[in-house]
Structure 1
């Protein structure tokens, strides 16, 4: 009996030692990767610098706490008091991220400065064989302000969410393509620039033809691959309402063999044309929103083809090839 207890104790001790060693090896690799990101050029790859980097969560979790985070991507510089990323050691494909505000956003090219505050901001990404199974970001009590001179409110919302879901039936393992459904929700949005108050908005999208490995999303040939796979951005529904206006849109866009956008978007609205009058002068307002019917509803179809944007049959703008 005593011998069995000794053997069992030895096995438990060995498991603890191996588990602990694995945790510290993983923590070292994560720290190495984060430190390497601080050496990125901020153009081809975002540069992420932590004032202080701590790793914790032993033994079952791995938490990377980045205090005074600074992220540089092109002309954009983002600064945060704190950024945390966490994974369960036994489930490293599920990443949880949270952030402390306020976020400071600077555009070094234009000189603009914005700030975003929140009471809670969290994100979650779950992968399945490097394919996104689900990704979500949720913010509460969001306030976006221009801080270049004083502080001027741009927009605010008590709740905003964005979710991505894998569409399993559209996964093609032979062609290595996948499809995602996207859902965006904003509740009681206030946007003084368009005199929006208590506005609710929902957007539903589907994007097909994506590489089924997220590691390939940043490659230079991602758009040609999307076109070759007949990928399509389907605007399932855009629906926005407030006390005085409604806006609905739907359609589908793709890339033609010349890398130009091809497709249509149908827009219907009430009360929007009157509201954006000072911001979108005629004839552009009518070319985008259409004309009002007997019931006061505006309707129009925007067509994208051969490098142009058409309001019905009337050309209104050009768009060059995307690659």
Structure 2
């Protein structure tokens, strides 16, 4: 009988301690979210919630932000709702979702638009402070200009973004890691760019990044990345629409002055005709290259000391990035 009593006491103690720990953690989550409402919205984005609920006891922490507003510079984003969830015993893996519609207002340009979707989900996972994976997936996107009536800007059945660690490029001795990124868009319609059945896939790799995500926001992050020998590699970019096709690949890095250095190879079919209203000659040919007898285009854009050249002919410049 005494053993049963002591067992019950032990269970009650564990439950009480667990409950206290959960209440403490939920309070910390609430405090951290409320602190975001005190940001200036310029140097740091400001997030405010009309309602904020913390739930999920006993094993989860669920934060629900109702009628959320994000202010970042001139941009104001209104979201019907945001929800984030993590297991108490696995706090470095967070799942999130959002409710539509999302309203966008740019105070500088005066533009107004709305984004509708049937599903918007995101997840993030850390290995210590090293980024393991970050993803964002949206279905049935519909982006509409609402400044004067309603005019479709673009829509897609799927937009998927993935960013993940490349284990074989991790250097524990120097604390440097590499990330691989993947973006895909399906069934894209963009009337302004005469895109009716567009599909696109982009693969990139970024090397020599710090293995602590907290350092990515350092003001000297780009300078440190360059000093570590970092490189942005465009593994592949491929876009299609009807009978048009565009492919690109290459790599870019920064020189000692923070200027872009590298090259991008472009091959296309029936793209020059599609972008004629947006990119006039001679720039269209300078970017895509002269047409071959079969109508295809191929060209290499060179980046040297912040100057973008088509062959040896300069066509644009990019200011220093640090």
- Give the TM-score normalised by structure 1: 0.98
* CA deviation string 1:1-41 (max 9, x = no partner): x1111122112111111111111100101111111110001
Q: Count residues in correspondence.
A: 322
Distance 2:50 2:138 in 1: 24
Distance 2:174 2:101 in 1: 43
How far apart are 1:173 and its partner, in Å?
2.1
How far apart are 1:306 and its partner, in Å?
1.2
Structure 2 residue aligned with 1:297? 296
* CA deviation string 1:18-74 (max 9, x = no partner): 111111100101111111110001112110000111111111111111001010111
Q: CA RMSD in A?
A: 0.8
Distance 1:301 1:132 in 2: 33
Please give the residue correspondences for 1:37-48 in structure 2 after superposition, counting only pairs within 5 Å: 37-48=36-47
Distance 1:28 1:98 in 2: 21
Please give the residue correspondences for 1:267-278 in structure 2 after superposition, counting only pairs within 5 Å: 267-278=266-277
How far apart are 1:130 and its partner, in Å?
1.1
* CA deviation string 1:236-288 (max 9, x = no partner): 00011122200000000000111100000000000100111111110010011
Distance 1:175 1:45 in 2: 29
Structure 2 residue aligned with 1:152? 151
Gaps of at least 5 residues in structure 2 are: none
Greater alpha carbon shift after TM alignment, 291-300 vs 250-259: 291-300
Structure 2 residue aligned with 1:70? 69
Is 1:217 the counterpart of 2:239? The answer is no
Structure 2 residue aligned with 1:4? 3
Structure 1 residue aligned with 2:317? 318
* CA deviation string 1:206-236 (max 9, x = no partner): 0112121111111101000110111111000
**Segments ≥4 residues shifted beyond 3 Å:** none
3-state SS of paired residue (1:36): helix
- Give the TM-score normalised by structure 2: 0.98
3-state SS of paired residue (1:8): helix
